[in-house]
Amino acid sequence: MRKAILLIALIIAGAFTYAANDETPQKQSNKEESKDSGVIKMNKEMFVNNVFDYQTAKEWKYKGNKPAIIDLYADWCGPCRMVSPIMEGLAKEYENQVTFYKVNVDKEQELASLFNATSIPLLVFIPMDGQPQLFRGAADKPTYKKVIDEFLLKKKEVKK
């Protein structure tokens, strides 16, 4: 009898624990979007309003008020998952200097095709003036910092 009561108590406790930790995909995505990583999830509407209206403009003209980086990624992509925390760290480091966006190529196929994202990760570095530059594949943080400093922020390399 004791064993039966103990077993029932364990089952009930397990059910409550499971219910408390249950996160459906909807709950997970809301949690992820509310996380303060400094990287903004971008969709087509946001791109057209904040970056470039490719539907009406004939020539590239960036709309932002500071340089930007767009990380085109997919959830299933291993190298993309390696780049993500690097971008989050850089977003905090360059918080008032560069805007960081991320675009899920599976959900925003039109934006992916706009940049000919045939392989990912694909980073788009957008300076205030001039054409964006594409960076294909994953790299380390110092490599991204160098591109940000020299291409986006136009900082001269300090000689040691």
Q: Is 77 a catalytic residue?
A: yes
Of 39, 51, 77, 111, catalytic: 77
Contacts of 135 (CB under 8 A, 6+ apart): 122, 123, 124, 125, 147
Residue 114 near residue 105, CB atoms below 8 Å: no
Secondary structure (3-state) at 66:
coil
Of 39, 68, 72, 80, catalytic: 80
Q: Is 89 a catalytic residue?
A: no
Torsion sign over Cα 107, 71, 117, 126 = positive
β-pair partners for 160: none
Cite the active site residues: 77, 80
